[in-house]
Amino acid sequence: MAKEARLIATNPPSGEVSAVVTVSVQDIAYYVALSGDDGADGLSWATPKKTIQAAVDLCQIPGGAVWVSNGIYDAGGRAAFGLSNRVVITNAIIVRSANGPFSTYIFGDLDPDSTNLYGCGPNAVRCAYLSGGATLDGFGMANGRTDFSSGSVNGGGVLCNSSEERLLNCVVTGCVADGHGGGVYRGALTRCELNNNYASQDGGGAYDSQV
C-alpha cells in the first residue's frame, strides 16, 4: 500500500515556503511460502521466497515486513554470534507469520556429532538471532540448540542482542542452552509462551528478557 508524504522547504530566517513536494512512499513487504522459490522476487504471495532468510536478506529498509505462510521452516542456516541460526535478522524489520504460532514454525536442530546429553555443540542450529531492533511475530519455535561448553551458549531458541529486539505472540518449546536462556536470551516478550525449555545455567525459559 502506498502512502503520501509532503516535503516542505523553507527559507530562513523568514520561514517563507520555497517548495512543496508530494511523494508516494511504498510500503516494503516480502512473502515466504514452502511452495516458493528463493529465485523468485518474493514481492507477492504469487511469487514467494521459499526460505525466511532469503526474504529477510532483501528486506533492508527499517519498517519493512516479511510475511510467512503456514508450515515448518527447518532448512537453511546463517551464522551469527558464533553459531548457525535458522533465521538471522539484523535490522528494524518485522517478520510475521500469516496465521500465528500454531500454523507456522521455525525449527532449530541438534548437533549431529554432539556428545552432549541435549545435543548442544558447534554444529547445532538455533532457531533465530535478532539484533538491530528486529521483531518476530506469531511463530512457533522448537528444537533450537546452542554450542556446548564454550562459544555461543546462550539462547537455545532465540538469542537477542539487547532489549530492543521483540518477540510477539510466539511459542518457544523444547529448546536448550548450555548457558543462559534455554528458550530466549534477552529481548522483549509480549504475549509469548515458553514451554519445556532447559538451560544448564540460569533461565530455562528466558534470561535477561523483558516479559
Per-residue model confidence as pLDDT tens digits over 191-209 = 999 999 999 999 999 999 9
Per-residue model confidence as pLDDT tens digits over 51-87 = 999 999 999 999 999 999 999 999 999 999 999 999 9
> pTM for the full model?
0.87
Query: What number of helices (H) and strands (E) belong to the chain?
Result: 1, 21
Q: Three cell numbers at 163?
A: 532489549
The amino acid at 123: N
For residue 117, give Cα distances in angstroms to 44, 111, 112, 148, 178.
43, 11, 12, 10, 10
Q: Which residues are CB-neighbours of 197 under 8 A, at least 6 positions away?
A: 156, 157, 172, 173, 174, 175, 176, 182, 183, 204, 205
Q: Three cell numbers at 102?
A: 500454531
Per-residue model confidence as pLDDT tens digits over 133-179 = 999 999 999 999 999 988 899 999 999 999 999 999 999 999 999 99
d(CA 136, CA 183): 14
Q: Three cell numbers at 187?
A: 529481548
pLDDT computed for residue 97 by the predictor: 98
Q: Three cell numbers at 153?
A: 551458549
